[in-house]
Structures are given as C-alpha cells and as structure tokens.
Amino acid sequence: MRCVADIPLRIVLVGKDIDLRVVSLIVRAREIADEVVFLDLGSNDTTVELAEEVGCKTLHFTSTFDAVHLAKFLHESPLEEAKTTLAIHITTAWKLQDISLSINRARELWDLHLSHHAEPSGDENEEALVLSELDLRHLVMTKSGMEALASLSIDGTTEDLDERLRVRVVRGSVNVNINQRESLATASRFAQLFYWMLESKHPLLLFGIPGVVLFILGYRLSGNIVGALEEINSTSIGVTLATIAMTLIGLFSIMVALILYIMGKQVEQVQSQYDWPSRT
C-alpha cells in the first residue's frame, strides 16, 4: 500500500556514467526539491556509489527509456507518491543552469509537461507526436498526470490522454544563458576531474601533486645553489641540504602516490572477486 502524496516536489535525475557530476547535481537539486532520487540507466563507473554515499535514493532502470516507460516505472516503484515529479535526463549537453528552467515548468499548473529534443520543423504537429518516441529532455508530472501517462499505450499520443488534464509537449529550445552560480564540477573538464579527486581523496592528488611540485622546485634549486654562493660554509651547506631534501621528499611523495594508487586498484579487484563492498 503506497503512502498518500506528502512530498510537494520530487526531482528524479536520470542518467548514466556521470560520476564527475552526480554529487554536484544532487546537492543542487536538494536546494530546490523536497526529495531527490537518482535513476540509473546502467552506469559502468562509480556514479551509483557516489550517489549513495551522499544519501541519495537510487533506482535502476533497465527498460526502454522513454516517457511512457519512465512514468510506469516511477508509478510502480516503492517511492512515496509526490504531488509533483520532475524527471530530468542528464546528458553531455545538459548544463547545471538548465535546472532552473525545468523547475519553473514544475511550478506551473501542468499535469504533464514534456520537453524533448528534436530537429527544427515548421510543420510539426505536436498533438500527433507519439510520446514514447520522443527524445526526453525533462518531464513534469502531477499524480494524475503520472497515472495517465503510465496507463498510456506505447503508440499513444497526447490525444489519447484525458482531455481534462493540462498537457503540454514542447520541443527543447537553445539553452538560455542565465547569470547564476555554477558548480565547480561543471566549470570545465579539468575542474570536474579535480573535484572528483578531492571528493574521493585520490592518492594522486593528496601525494602526487605536492610531490611533483617539491621535486621540480628542489631539482631546479639544487642545480646551481652551491655555485651561486661565494664560499662553502655552514649556511651554504644547510641551504644545499634543504634543497636536496626537498627533491627527495618530492620523489618519495610521487612514489607513495603511485604505490597507493596501484594498491587501491588491487584492493578493488580483490573485493570484486569476493563480492566485498568497495566502500564503507
């Protein structure tokens, strides 16, 4: 027996292989919605694990991904019923700033609001579109809208829905540039990699980068440090030893980073063989 609708707004993030973005997406969505759920389409990386680490509910979707199958899956899922559900398809072209436009649609009085990707066509009849064939961008559903869409056939169109429902199907337009804060994880590919390394405490970040910096500085300083001083005394020897120590510490840090990285891969392999949990 499912609970009554007591969640005003639920955001369902739908995607796969987005481990560099999933944490920032969930955090941003939680600032807006009352509940955030990640719907995995079959990720082969650590997307699901990272989502679960930040306490996000995760569901696995194995059916054909379209609006009708998505509505059926969510309607039959063990999730509590929500007053409004906003499903967002996270693709490589989707930007974090696009969530504001989707939220605006969720706050409007639509029982079903479907935005899809399509090539521009001046004679396109939106009322005759088969909903299951649309390349979904985002889908807003009220409780009644979800039930109607879930009961729709695969070949169903908006004309087959209850005429009392407020339905709108639109073609996604070009992204609008909005002046707002953007997450570090979406600033650039390098920033996404840096954010992931920082979040996961990656050894190549904790030891490798400082090691490389110390090694390069120590190597360049130690090359001419003795010749730059007029005489060899306790001060020059101390400075020379300090630069040599800097070089050795940097080299040692690089070795530690590589060893920890290799050991981590070996541990993950052993855990996968014996079906151990990879994270605590």
Rounded CA-CA distance 75/150 in Å is: 7
Q: Name the strand (E) or helix (H) holding 7.
A: strand 7-15
Expressed in percent and rounded to 5, the helix, strand and coil fractions of the chain are 50, 15, 35
Rounded CA-CA distance 152/150 in Å is: 5
This prediction's pTM = 0.59
Per-residue pLDDT, 195: 59
- Extract the runs of DSSP E, i.e. beta strands, from 34-159: 35-40, 57-60, 82-89, 112-117, 135-142
Rounded CA-CA distance 119/178 in Å is: 24
Predicted confidence pLDDT, tens digits, the chain (280 residues): 344 446 899 999 999 999 888 998 999 899 989 999 999 999 998 999 999 999 999 999 998 899 999 999 999 998 998 999 999 999 888 888 788 888 888 888 889 999 887 654 444 455 567 888 888 899 999 999 999 999 988 888 888 888 889 988 888 765 545 455 555 445 556 566 555 555 556 666 667 777 788 777 777 776 665 555 555 556 666 667 777 777 788 888 888 777 777 776 766 666 666 555 544 4
Q: Name the strand (E) or helix (H) holding 9.
A: strand 7-15
Buried b (16+ CB within 10 A) or exposed e, 159-187: eebeeebebebebbeeeeeeeeeebebbe
In Å, what is the CA distance from 74 to each residue of 123, 135, 280?
33, 18, 29
7-191 under CATH 3.90.550, yes or no: yes
> 150, 116 in Cβ contact below 8 A?
no
Per-residue pLDDT, 85: 93
Rounded CA-CA distance 241/225 in Å is: 10
